[in-house]
Chain A
Amino acid sequence: MINWRLGLGVILTGLLVLVAIFGPMLAPYEEDYVKPSGYYYNSNDDFGVISNPTPPSSEHIFGTDQYGYDILTLLLYGAKYTLLVGLLVALVIVIGGLLGLINGIRSKNEKVGSSFGLLGSIPAFIIIYFVMVGIVVNSSLTMIDLIILQSVLMTIVGIPGVYAAVFSKTKELKKNLYITASHSLGARSFRIAWKHLLPHLKGTLMVMFVKEIILVLSLIGQLGIFNIFLGGTILRLGGEGVYLSVTHDWAGLIGQWRSFVYDYQWVLLYPLLAFVLVIFSFYILSRGIELKDKHGFKKYPHI
């Protein structure tokens, strides 16, 4: 059977990467283009008000937001931050998780994984929230600094999970006789990891990497809901505070427009759909890799 999931996943993620790279060139408007609002008067029967947000039309495919920014343009400009940070952070997390491989080979105790117990009561994004909340709003730090800071935090928060997974998987594989044989022939743990375990774990690690991208994106999104936007938050005071994303990364856009539920729904709907598309692409890619990798021992149920 053809692995259509892998194909679809590769095509979709490829397209997303292209959008991230060439987005600003494809954008129909400049990043700071604002659709002017005002009155128009053609005749006695044909007059009215031009106001924002305007619904999707041929001029503005995804419509405009409350200030008149073109939503498609903002999405195209913001794509690179969302995707790049997701990819890089996930990569670093998986590389960090490889420590679990070495530790899994070396450690003698049979207890698999470590339970963080009560730490589960404080979710990861709350930790990042409290660290970032005093820094990110109207910050004098540069956008790049803020992105790096948040990426580092997300990496720290993400590594333990991958580490534990790799660790327990290594423990499981270590029971195989060929590892014992290789070990008694004098192989060091690095050689065992490189020659015997990595080929086994390659598929799992790829799947983990792609899933970790989704987890990192969710984390960015959850922070965005609480106005911690990737790359900085602009807080406009004077009346009710308005939080705006500096980079227009997709999670930030969802966060800043999250209250468009009752009316003008397109403002919220299109960024949401874009975000779901990203999640879907990476998910279907991970499924494709998973199925490709699925071989070896299979058990069959008796009833």
Chain B
Amino acid sequence: MKFLLSILGVFVLIFALVAFPLAIEIMGGELSIDFSVMLDLTKAYLGGIFTGESFHYKEGVDRNPNFFATIPDYLLTSFLYLAVAIILAIVISLLISAWFSRSRKEWMKDIIGFFGMVPDFIMVLFLQLGAVFFYQTTGLRLARIATRGVDEHAILLPLITLTIVPTIYLIRSLSERTYDVLTDDYILTAKAKGLRKIYIFVQHVIRNVLPYLKADLHKVIAILMSNLFIVEYLFNISGLAGFLFNTGEYQFNLTTNILITLVVLYIVLYWFIRLFIACLERIFAHD
């Protein structure tokens, strides 16, 4: 029931948002919103679902492709970038937070925290500038700073950007959790039994941190989704978010469809990561 409500809420939000630019009117410094336009557009879209009208969009001057024929490529591209990034983020942050939680060095926290606060677009632009600068001084091509055409994909820099932000978020939240777990009595018992540190980490610490990872998952994916827009736009990646801003003229149906597909991407990604965590649990938390 709650799930249905939240789906309904997202749909209402999407329709209202996409219709908004078409429903406003600015006349001589006065802003007015015409809500009937919003309703009409939504009605037309809903009516068009049955005729298939809502799933065609205009491309260029006279092409009228079907949305379902073109979207899987975009969806797959976005999904692959996100999935690789989030798996890297989880693995790296589990490893680092095990060590970081014991660290009492405030300057390490300073650096990690600062990288967590730097906005994604700043990171992207600095990486691009850095790659160009490196090429201009040494003549070596480190990484592509934008995707060009269909075969020359920028991979390294987008993945770095997409990985850093969730990694740092996870390091900060998981290292707190790891610290809490480390103070618990069963760790003391394990230590008193003479078990090795690495064994205690694998058998007791990680499995007790994983539930917190699961609880944080929505937040992490939300952060990633917001990064995705910036990364795809600035690296010219033809994923869903890149598609959203490269549609040429503003088309209500197309934009709505893309946003709905983004919600689908969110759900697919969420369950994919749940699967990944379930695999981790098989490894670390089997009894």
- The answer to whether residues A254 and B125 also contact, given A222-B119, A302-B191 and a CB cut-off of 8 A, is yes
Interface residue B214 (Cβ < 8 Å from any Cβ of A) = no
- Which residues in chain A, 251-303, are within 8 Å of chain B measured between CB atoms? 254, 258, 261-262, 265, 268-269, 272, 275-276, 279-280, 283-284, 287, 291, 299-303
Is the CB of B180 closer than 8 A to any CB of chain A?
A: yes
Q: Check: B126 CB closer than 8 A to any chain A CB.
A: yes
Minimal beta-carbon separation of B116 from chain A (angstroms): 9
Q: Residues 14-44 of chain B: 1 if any A CB is under 8 Å from the residue's CB, otherwise 0?
A: 1001101110101111010000000000000
Residues B221 and A122 in contact, CB atoms below 8 Å apart: no
Please determine whether B24 and A134 come into contact, CB atoms closer than 8 angstroms: yes
Q: Does A177 contact B (CB under 8 A)?
A: no
A18 CB-CB contact with B under 8 Å: no
CB <8 Å contact, B187 and A121: no
- Residues of chain B in range 218-235 having any CB-CB distance to chain A below 8 Å: 218-219, 221-222, 225-226, 229-230, 233-234
The answer to whether B122 touches A130, judged by C-beta atoms less than 8 angstroms apart, is: no
**CB atoms of B219 and A120 under 8 A apart:** yes
Q: Which residues of B contact A303 (CB under 8 A)?
A: 182, 187, 191, 197, 200
Which B residues are in CB contact (< 8 Å) with A145?
29, 31
Flag B115-146 by CB within 8 Å of A: 1 or 0 each: 00111111001101100110000000000010
B262 interface contact, C-beta 8 A: yes
B interface residues, tally (CB under 8 Å): 65
* A214 and B117 contact, CB distance less than 8 A: yes
Q: Which residue of B lies closest to A257 (CB)?
A: B125
- Residue A127 lies at the interface, judged by CB distance under 8 Å to chain B: yes
User: For the complex, what is the distance from the CA of A280 to the CA of B182, rounded to whole Å?
Assistant: 32
Chain A: CB-nearest residue to B23:
A134
1/0 contact trace for B151-191 toward A, CB 8 Å?
A: 00000000000000000000000000001101100011001
Interface of A is mostly: helix
Q: Which partner residue on chain A sits nearest B133 by CB separation?
A: A265
**Given A121-B263, A123-B222, A123-B229; A272-B122 close (CB under 8 Å):** yes
Q: How far is the CA of A275 from the CA of B123 in the complex (A)?
A: 12
Q: Bound complex: CA of A123 vs CA of B126, how far in Å?
A: 23
Tell me if A139 is interfacial: C-beta within 8 Å of chain B: yes
A302 & B234 in contact (Cβ 8 Å cutoff): no
B83 located at the interface, meaning its Cβ lies under 8 Å from any Cβ of chain A in the complex: no
The smallest beta-carbon distance between B190 and chain A, in angstroms, is: 8
22 contacts between A and B (CB under 8 A): A117-B3, A119-B10, A120-B221, A122-B14, A122-B17, A122-B259, A122-B263, A126-B229, A127-B13, A127-B17, A140-B26, A140-B29, A141-B29, A221-B121, A225-B121, A258-B121, A261-B129, A262-B132, A279-B122, A283-B114, A291-B106, A302-B182
Instruction: Known pairs A258-B234, A303-B187; list 16 more (Cβ under 8 Å).
Output: A118-B263, A121-B225, A122-B14, A122-B262, A123-B225, A123-B229, A130-B17, A130-B18, A134-B24, A225-B230, A225-B234, A261-B125, A265-B132, A272-B122, A301-B183, A302-B182
Question: Which 7 A/B pairs are nearest by Cβ-Cβ distance?
Answer: A120-B222, A134-B21, A123-B226, A121-B266, A218-B119, A301-B182, A130-B17
